[in-house]
Amino acid sequence: MKLSCAPVLVLYLFFVLCHQTAIAQQLAKPLLLNDVRHLPLPDTPHLVFTLLTFNDTVENIAVANIDANVPVKMAVIATSPLGKGRIIAFGSGAYLRKDLLRDADVHQLAQNILTWAGNGRKRPKMGIYTAADSAFLALAHRQHISTYLVKNTGIEKHTDIIYLATDVADKDTLRALETFVRNGGTLIQVSPYEQLYQKVLATPGSTMQPACINALLVKAGICDKNIAFYSTAGNKDLIIDSVPCYLHLSTMLPLLKRPSTGFMDDIADGYIVQPTVDLMFENNDINSAVLQNLKVQYKLPDTLAIPTPQKPITFSTAEDKVRYHLMQRFQEKQHPTAGDKNAVAPGARYFPGVVPDTATRVTTSITVPVQVGAQGLLEPTAVYFRPHSTGLYVPPGTVVKVILQSKDRNQQLKAQIGVHSDDLADLNRLTRSAENMVRTFQLDKDTTEVYSPFGGLLQLNIGDTTTLKAINITVMGAVKAPYFKLGQTNEADWNNNIRNNPAPWAELATDKIILTVPAYRIRQLSNPVKLMQFWDEVMDADADLAKISRTRPHPERVIVDQDVAYGYMYTVPEHIIVPDDQSCEWMLDEAFVREHGSWGLFHELGHRHQFWGIDFGEVGEVTVNLFTMHVYDKVLHKGIYNHEDIADKETVLKKINNHLHNKPSFEKWGQDPFLALCMYIELIRQFGWQCIDDTYTKYRAIPPQQYPQSQEDKRDLWFLTICDATKTNLTQFFDIWKVPVSDKVKGKVTAYPSWLPDELK
């Protein structure tokens, strides 16, 4: 069970977490659903946003399946008391607008809400922020409710109801709304996310911001999430007769103990259970009943053990893991570091490491060349603020000042401290503190103070849409890190001084790649020029095969971590994470890596260069190794056989023969990456790298908006393109390998001569 912050997405896929029904709702729900038989979902294209609830006073009035085929449910209408009053929140404003109010049951629901909200008064008064639909206003007037428009804090005396269908950022207005509710008023709140979403669509390059109204909603145990879905033919109705256990706090918390059964559990934990736990900790005092009950239920200790390589922490059960990560939450709650400029995290001295007290704090001016832009590879979602190295380090608990030139204050720049952003809550063994250690600060003033309880390398984050070429900053109070930049740093200076700079982390950089490594790994490194020239050769070989320019708009980042969050190594568009083990030593040894290679890191760099939108699903771990093999062949001059599963031609032929004599199928082919790679090896052996070069040249020429959408179309594209590249009819070749392609594309290559390698004849 992972207990970490989850990203906010527009989702269309979930799965069933469990089918138990929560404790029967009381109080408001029977009144609100009186004479309501069923409630429809709004028609497409109306987005329906969802609610998370995180205390036992909340009543989920209506929930919905996110998708017809995978019916995990999330709340769409919920209500909760706050003080003497109450809030009712809607994930869609359509329920209080004309089209849906024509539905008899929706009309009855709205009528019930107004009666309930009026508190039995004969002539209630309702304030409207911004606007309300005419049909809803007409319904209110028929129930003898007078209405008026509210501006900011101008809630009139004797107001019973407030209708709010827009976001509220003004703190005074939020306070006025809270006072209104706590004094006995009813707030009818409609998700502002549909409006915010439309604004994003109308403003290219902008991103969805969290709804500010949540500052009020969370005080009642409700959070409006920008997790959204559309209704479909198979998913047309709200569910009003039951609430699943994972949407009610008292029945959700025991789920933390259950072990994950795989990918589906992980998704549900990430988007329902984890955020609910986050909200519970963020919005309850440490001595609150809900947190103290949780502490007793999970038998949490009073102190948190700090994992180190010498004393790792191992979790033998899901409950052990949950207990540790809950204890982390309690520690942060009891000794908060957020906002405390001088706080030092308990585990910081072990990882990322200490800075000697004697280390000189420097004041220095830096010119940071801007390196952003697309290069044809899979890039982070825009707007991405790409980290740029400064060669400086912020010690934990130390305030450092970053000073901008006045002209750059409006450039949306950010300072980042640290590079280890992974939450390690999924790991069964820890050798360092598990939390995200990165801290960021908006640089919107001439001088900004930055700090971190963990410390870390100081980086300048620059939006990838900027037109700036260079940025000048002054930094006061940081320490120098070992930083080498190929073509800029003098190797003699490196050997005499720079490699001994006191920071515990170092960076070795070119315009094509950056290696972020523990400083102890480079204290004896004497040939950084040769080393980084080698890695530039690797990057150029990958660029050549991927058909992108060798001159890159930005470098790729490789970051060493003591504990790797996913697998042995992993790659995402932002960076590659590799372990601090012998592979790190080899990565930094030019003579060794040039002689022996590094299949693992070559493989991860290959992932950055794959044709993600064109390759079909079964070859994600196959075509990556074309790049791995290409580097071994073109840079190391070792040929294409450099892994134990493809150690030589005989090994490949044996693997092929075993497959063909044991009921071959496309499913088996797709489940064994090195078996599938043998098919590509046969092509390369016969036609050379040119056939892959020509295929990828055609791939690169396809505009992304014209990429094939279905798996069948992607296989057809590969077949047709490789046939054209080899001037060969590969129909029989594909048939023997059981890789399905359509008769249509087979008919397009009949003019070419057929070919089969000897082992397939």
For 562-613, give the DSSP string. Answer: SS-SSSSSEEETTEEEEESSHHHHHHT-HHHHHHH--HHHHHHHHHHHS-TT
Closest of 125, 274, 119, 88 to residue 184, by C-alpha: 119
Residue 352 lies in a domain: no
- Alpha-helical runs (H) found in 146-297: 171-182, 193-202, 214-217, 249-252, 263-268, 274-282, 289-297
| Percent of the chain residues past pLDDT 70, beyond the cut | 95
Q: Which of 28-32, 52-56, 90-94, 214-218 has the lowest mean pLDDT?
A: 52-56
Q: Is the pLDDT assigned to residue 26 strictly greater than 80?
A: no
Residues 292 and 397 in one domain: no
Q: Return the minimum-mean-pLDDT range out of 133-137, 234-238, 567-571.
A: 234-238
Flag whether 426 is in a domain: yes
CA distances from 91 to 174, 214, 761 (A): 19, 13, 62
- Over residues 676-696, the pLDDT tens digits come to 999 999 999 999 999 999 999
Q: Do 324 and 436 sit in the same domain of this protein? A: no
Give the position of tokens 């995290």. 345
Among candidate residues 569, 644, 646, the one with its CA nearest the CA of residue 601: 569
**Domain contains 673:** yes
Is the residue at 22 inside a domain? no
> Which pLDDT tens digit goes with each residue over 610-661?
999 999 999 999 999 999 999 999 999 999 999 999 999 999 999 999 999 9
Average predicted confidence (pLDDT) for the chain: 92
Q: With respect to residue 640, please indicate whether it lies within any of the assigned structural domains.
A: yes
* pLDDT grade for 395, boundaries at 50, 70 and 90: very high
Residue position matching structure tokens 């992993």:
570
Please tell me the distance from the alpha carbon of residue 251 to that of residue 56, in angstroms, as a whole number.
Answer: 10
**Are residues 106 and 178 both part of a single domain?**
yes
Q: Is residue 581 located within the same domain as residue 641?
A: no
CA distance 111 to 101: 10
Per the CB < 8 A criterion, the answer to whether 308 and 431 are in contact is: yes
Residue 268 lies inside a defined structural domain of this protein: yes
Beta strands 186-190 and 161-164 are parallel
Pair 52, 184 in one domain: yes
Distance of CA 263 to the CA centre of its chain: 15
7 within a domain of the structure (yes/no): no
Token pair of 400 as six digits: 């450092």
**Co-location of 437 and 526 in the same domain:** yes
Amino acid identity at 108: Q
CA angle centred on 135, ends 134 and 140, rounded to 5°: 95
Read off the pTM: 0.84
**Which tokens is 422 given?**
């992974």
pLDDT value at position 500?
A: 98
Quick one: 404 and 263 in the same domain?
A: no
What's residue 238's pLDDT?
Answer: 96
Residue 17 domain-assigned?
no
Number of C-alpha atoms within 13 angstroms, CB side, residue 400?
A: 37
At residue 23, does pLDDT exceed 60?
Answer: no
Number of domains composing the chain: 4
* CATH number where 643 lies: 1.10.390.30
**Residue pair 549/591 in contact by the 8 Å Cβ criterion:** no
- Can you state the percent helix, strand and coil of the chain, rounding each to 5? 35, 20, 45
pLDDT at 21 over 70: no
Domain assignment of residue 389, given as a range: 362-596
Average pLDDT over residues 325-348: 90
CA distance to 92, 133, 149, 355, per residue, from 130 (Å): 17, 11, 7, 54
Same domain for 730 and 614?
Answer: yes
162 and 274 share a domain? no
- Tell me: do 391 and 478 sit in the same domain: yes
How many whole angstroms separate alpha carbon 470 and alpha carbon 467? 9
Going by pLDDT thresholds of 50, 70 and 90, the confidence category of residue 17 is very low
The 8-class DSSP code of residue 271 comes to I
Query: What does the pLDDT look like over 56-69, one tens digit per residue?
Result: 899 999 999 888 77
Are 615 and 747 part of one and the same domain?
yes
Q: Is 685 helix (H, G, I), strand (E, B) or coil?
A: helix
Query: Residues 326, 373: one domain?
Result: no
C-alpha distances out from residue 189 to 79, 378, 418, 468, Å = 10, 39, 39, 42
